[in-house]
Amino acid sequence: MKKVEAIIRPEAFQTLRQNLDHRGVKGLTVSEVAGCGQQKGQEGIFRGSRFEVKLYPKVKVEMVLEDHEVEPIIDVITDSCTTNEVGDGKIFVSSIDEVYRIRTGESGKSALI
C-alpha cells in the first residue's frame, strides 16, 4: 500500500475531486494548509504598511491506495491540477506498512474501503 499526498492550489480541488470520483477513489483526507516553494513570497500593503506574505494557501489531499493504483492516480492529479505555472504543487508517495479500521479492527485492504 502507498500513501499519496498532493499539495495543490485550492482552486484545483473541485476538479480533482470529481476526477478522483470518476476513477473510483473512495476515501480522502483533505486539509487546508499553507506553504511556499519556488513562489517564495509576495509583498503586500495592509493599512498603509508594507508586509511580506511568505506562505500561500494550499489544499493537501491524502489517500491510501494499493500499489497498482498509484501511477494512474498520479496521472489524474497532474492532469487535474497542472497550470504550468510555479505553485501547481507537489505529490509525495510513501509506503504504508498496515492500515486498521478502528471500529471493527479490520486490517489491510478491507480496512481501506
pTM: 0.85
Q: Per-residue confidence of the chain (113 residues) as pLDDT tens digits?
A: 999 999 999 999 999 999 999 999 989 999 999 887 776 666 666 677 776 767 889 999 999 999 999 999 999 999 999 999 989 999 999 999 999 999 999 999 899 87
Supply the CATH number for residue 60's domain. 3.30.70.120
Domain count, the chain: 1
Q: Are strands 29-35 and 56-65 parallel, antiparallel or unpaired?
A: antiparallel
Enclosing domain of residue 88: 2-112
Torsions phi, psi for 31 (to 5 deg): -130, 145
